[in-house]
Amino acid sequence: MRIYALIAFFLYFISAGAIAAAEESMASVAITMDDSLSFGGKSPSLDLGGLGVWQVTPVASALAFSQNNPQGGAGDISNAQLLIQKSEGDLHFFMQTGLYSVPVLGKPIVRTLSNTVDTYGYIPSASLSYILDQNWSVTAGKLASMGGYESTMTFQNLNIQRGLLWDQTSSVSYGAVVNYSKDDLSLAVTWNDGYYSNKMNWLGASGAYQLNDKESVGLSWVGSTSGNGQNTYNTPLLQNNSQIFNALYKYDGERWYFAPYLQYTLIPVNGAIGITSQYQTYGAALLANYRFPGATLSGIGHAKMSLPFRLEYIQEKGGTLNNVNSMLYGPDSSAVSLTITPTIQLNGFFARAEGSVVRISNPEPGLGFAANDSKRSQFRMMLEVGLLY
């Protein structure tokens, strides 16, 4: 870890020293961001001559939390990353490297170093994109997965924690995506390894249409095309053999931002790999954000405040009791969650607090909360502060 950190900071300071060679920063960072946070727009750029202009964007944040059932709390780094990209010309490059925490509602919080090592490593994303023309592009590498709405890293999302519906979708896959966009229509097709399984047996497609300057709709499907018996922390047996469908509506107005969506997942019977019962989940979520009027602070910069919140419901159908495999909290279990995350950002600096509660119904014995897995609810408080350069 120490060697990696030294390399990361060395790259950052080298890039900062090269700003004079490329005075203009690139306009955006090639990573999905939701509505409440944005980059400060001051990332150093390096003009490497024939290799083009490259941008290096630091991301740093710390996280603290307290919870009940079980009672506990701690503090840790939530992000210590460099985003490196080239986004000019026909060939684009993007790499995300560093440490990251991925807290999830209703799940134990894993320390950042352990999460990084045990999930997607020190480079959770790296890809090459070829821009064929103004409508077509192809991207290949280690990519954010298609399916669902929320992204993986804390700073990319309205809320600090990932949601109940997100937990049924894959996060990172090796694969390729073909993108097409024209006017108000965007389409994409993907071939990948699903839940980071190293078996290229997943296909997917998505489409989005811009209804007007404030509203859009989208549909997506992604799923396994053949059985895979792998069962690890990164590649859970059930989810890695699933079919995932999503329908999304988005409204982006002057003050309000709404993103309600529906999600359905199906895992068919496959006795050859140990799936002896069909599983399904039905989910609905509302993600929203209210933007307060911003304020310009003399000599400091522009401060923006917002109030994101998320409401979710998910239900599991199928499966059998006393089975080590479950999509949620056992057959016919369900869960509801509410998350509220007041946020303030001043230039690249941000701070946000979060309160969340998860309530589960009809859990299988042993799959609840607390030491004896007997509690049906969990309340969690969080605080995250950081810098998006």
**pLDDT tens, residue by residue, 12-57:** 333 333 333 333 333 466 788 999 999 987 777 787 777 888 999 9
Token duo for residue 41 = 């727009």
Backbone torsions φ then ψ of 156, nearest 5 degrees = -85, -10
The amino acid that residue 60 corresponds to is A
CA neighbor of 225 nearest in space, from 176, 272, 191, 263? 191
The CB density around residue 86, as the number of other CB atoms within 10 Å, is 21
Q: What is the torsional sign of CA 283, 223, 181, 174?
A: positive
Burial degree of 383 (CB within 10 A; 0-12, 13-18, 19+):
middle
**Where do the H-state alpha helices sit in the chain?**
2-17, 112-118, 237-240
Q: What is the pLDDT of residue 3?
A: 41
Q: What is the pLDDT of residue 366?
A: 81
Structural Rg of the chain based on CA atoms: 21
Q: How far apart are the first and last CA of the chain?
A: 23
Question: What's the whole-model pTM score?
Answer: 0.89
Please identify every stretch of the chain with a pLDDT value under 70, giving residue numbers as ranges: 1-29, 295-299, 321-324, 371-373
CA neighbor of 99 nearest in space, from 5, 35, 206? 5
Q: What is the torsional sign of CA 131, 132, 136, 142?
A: negative
Token duo for residue 2 = 């120490």
The CB density around residue 322, as the number of other CB atoms within 10 Å, is 8
Q: What is the pLDDT of residue 298?
A: 59
SS3 137: strand
For 40-73, b/e burial (b = at least 16 CB within 10 A) is beebbbbeeeeeebbbbbbbbbbbebebbbeeee
Read off the pLDDT of residues 267-294 as tens digits, 9 standing for 90 and up: 999 999 999 999 999 999 999 999 998 7
Cis peptide before 342 (omega within 30 of 0): no
Q: What is the pLDDT of residue 371?
A: 67
CATH of span 2-388: 2.40.160.10
Q: What is the pLDDT of residue 205?
A: 97
SS3 155: helix
